[in-house]
């Protein structure tokens, strides 16, 4: 309804519409800046992205709440369920995000123990990845008599040299102090039990798929709008160059009603 109306035979209603346009401008100025703001790409190092992500120059209305990105020293980061990740790659066509845990970037002993969990409403696991569990603070060697590859030591609960070991799957700590599971690329190679190789593998990260369906956004984009999220309804909305928002697409000038 905010499209420009041209008519060869002006009628009083056209003047009313034109008047309404001018009256609406101040009250909807913020929507206009959302069009501008959400047209900004998030650019950080090698990462460049738009919807459904927000952060930096993109206000929260430009993306879904869980997908906030930050840029620090050309490194894109995000936090998912209290765990800080480095964002290594975003594959828009597959809705895939490759991320690596920040706390494991310097070794296998994170300052705090947190599992890599993902809200199933927001993320799906990606085929080709499997969980690996790090078990910390084992007072006794876990399985007596069987030599365990992948043993390491960490300072845990203020005590140096606590034993830790690696186990497949998403496991609990058993008799040990705590455990952390992290997805890693699925591999049947025993190399994964080599702690040095494992540290490298963790730096390469793992993939998760965001579930958000942006089909509505493509329509919005085709109508020269930019997609965003209405923070009251949590639905996608289209911010338009003419300052309107709230519907799925922007009105195209050629599609205006003829009031004559
Ligand atoms: C890791 O384990 C968690 C909890 O059991 C599960 O929800 C998730 O799908 C697993 N991830 C992978 C990549 O298998
Ligand atoms: C952590 O250490 C404190 C004192 O150093 C001890 O009282 C506590 O039991 C330890 N916690 C665990 C779970 O081992
Ligand atoms: C990680 O998940 C396992 C299995 O659900 C749980 O036993 C363990 O306590 C969790 N670790 C942390 C740090 O929450
Ligand atoms: C682990 O792998 C690294 C490099 O791939 C190698 O230098 C090292 O000797 C291996 N360690 C063990 C215990 O196999
Ligand atoms: C939106 O449309 C523009 C051209 O108008 C295009 O450059 C851009 O890649 C599109 N964005 C998405 C997410 O499809
Ligand atoms: C929604 O966004 C507007 C501005 O973008 C903000 O003023 C308002 O507090 C937000 N409301 C909620 C519930 O987040
Ligand atoms: C919208 O999303 C936020 C954050 O995920 C949530 O707290 C809120 O309850 C949601 N609102 C609706 C109406 O679904
Ligand atoms: C501006 O946005 C708000 C909510 O984001 C919406 O209620 C309002 O209708 C929009 N204004 C116009 C002119 O579309």
20 occurs within a structural domain: no
User: Stretch 24-30: mean pLDDT, rounded?
Assistant: 40
Nearest listed ligand to the Cα of residue 245: 8
List helix spans (H) across the chain: 12-27, 29-39, 195-204, 215-222
* Residue 46 included in any domain: no
112-164: pLDDT as tens digits: 999 999 999 999 999 999 999 999 998 765 555 555 567 888 998 888 888 89
Average per-residue pLDDT for the chain: 82
Ligand 8: distance of its center to the CA of 28 in Å?
A: 6
Q: 167, 142 in Cβ contact below 8 A?
A: no
Is 209 close to ligand 1, i.e. is its CB under 6 Å away?
Answer: no
The ligand whose atoms approach the alpha carbon of 162 most closely is 2
231 C-alpha to center of ligand 7: Å? Answer: 8
Is the pLDDT at 45 greater than 60, yes or no? yes
Q: What residues does ligand 4 touch, defined as CB less than 6 Å away?
A: 194, 196-197
Total domains present in the chain: 1
Residue 254 lies in a domain: no
pLDDT at 33 over 80: yes
**SS3 assignment, position 4:** coil
Nearest atom (ligand 7) to Cα of 234:
1
Whole-angstrom CA distances from 33 to 39, 117, 215, 238, 251 are 10, 35, 24, 13, 18
Report yes or no on 239 lying in a domain.
no
pLDDT class for 3, splitting at 50, 70, 90?
very low
Residue 74 has which token pair?
């050309």
Q: Report pLDDT for 195.
A: 84
**This prediction's pTM:** 0.80
Residue 17 CA to residue 234 CA, distance in Å, equals: 31
* Residues across the chain: 260
Other C-beta atoms within 10 Å of 119: how many? Answer: 10
Packed helices 29-39 and 12-27: angle between N→C axes, nearest 10 degrees = 70
196 against 178, higher pLDDT: 178
- Sequential DSSP letters for 13-46: HHHHHHHHHHHHHHHTHHHHHHHHHHHSPEEETT
Q: Is residue 42 part of a domain?
A: no
C-beta 152 within 6 A of ligand 1: no
| Residue 234 resides in a domain | no
Query: Residue 155 belongs to what domain range?
Result: 65-211
Q: What is the pLDDT of residues 74-98, one digit of tens each?
A: 999 999 999 999 999 999 999 999 9
129 occurs within a structural domain? yes
């Amino acid at each position: 309804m905010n499209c420009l109306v041209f008519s060869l035979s002006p009628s009083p209603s056209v003047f009313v519409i034109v008047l309404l346009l001018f009256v609406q401008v101040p009250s909807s100025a913020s929507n206009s800046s959302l069009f501008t703001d959400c047209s900004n790409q998030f650019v950080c190092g090698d990462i460049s992205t738009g919807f459904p992500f927000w952060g930096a120059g993109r206000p929260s209305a430009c993306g879904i709440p869980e997908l906030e990105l930050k840029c620090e020293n050309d490194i894109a980061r995000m936090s998912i369920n209290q765990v800080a990740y480095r964002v290594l790659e975003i594959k828009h066509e597959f809705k895939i995000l490759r991320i690596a845990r920040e706390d494991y970037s310097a070794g296998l002993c994170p300052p705090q123990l947190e599992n890599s969990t993902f809200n199933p409403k927001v993320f799906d696991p990606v085929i080709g990845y499997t969980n690996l569990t790090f078990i910390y603070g084992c007072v006794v060697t876990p399985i007596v008599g069987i030599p365990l590859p992948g043993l390491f030591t960490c300072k845990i609960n203020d005590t140096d040299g606590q034993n830790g070991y690696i186990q497949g799957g998403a496991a609990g700590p058993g008799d040990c102090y705590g455990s952390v599971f992290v997805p890693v690329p699925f591999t049947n190679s025993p190399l994964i039990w080599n702690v040095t190789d494992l540290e490298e593998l963790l730096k390469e990260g793992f993939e998760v798929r965001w579930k958000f369906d942006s089909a509505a956004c493509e329509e919005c984009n085709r109508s020269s709008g930019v997609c965003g999220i209405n923070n009251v309804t949590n639905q996608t909305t289209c911010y338009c160059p003419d300052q309107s928002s709230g519907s799925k697409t922007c009105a195209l000038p050629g599609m205006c009603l003829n009031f004559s």
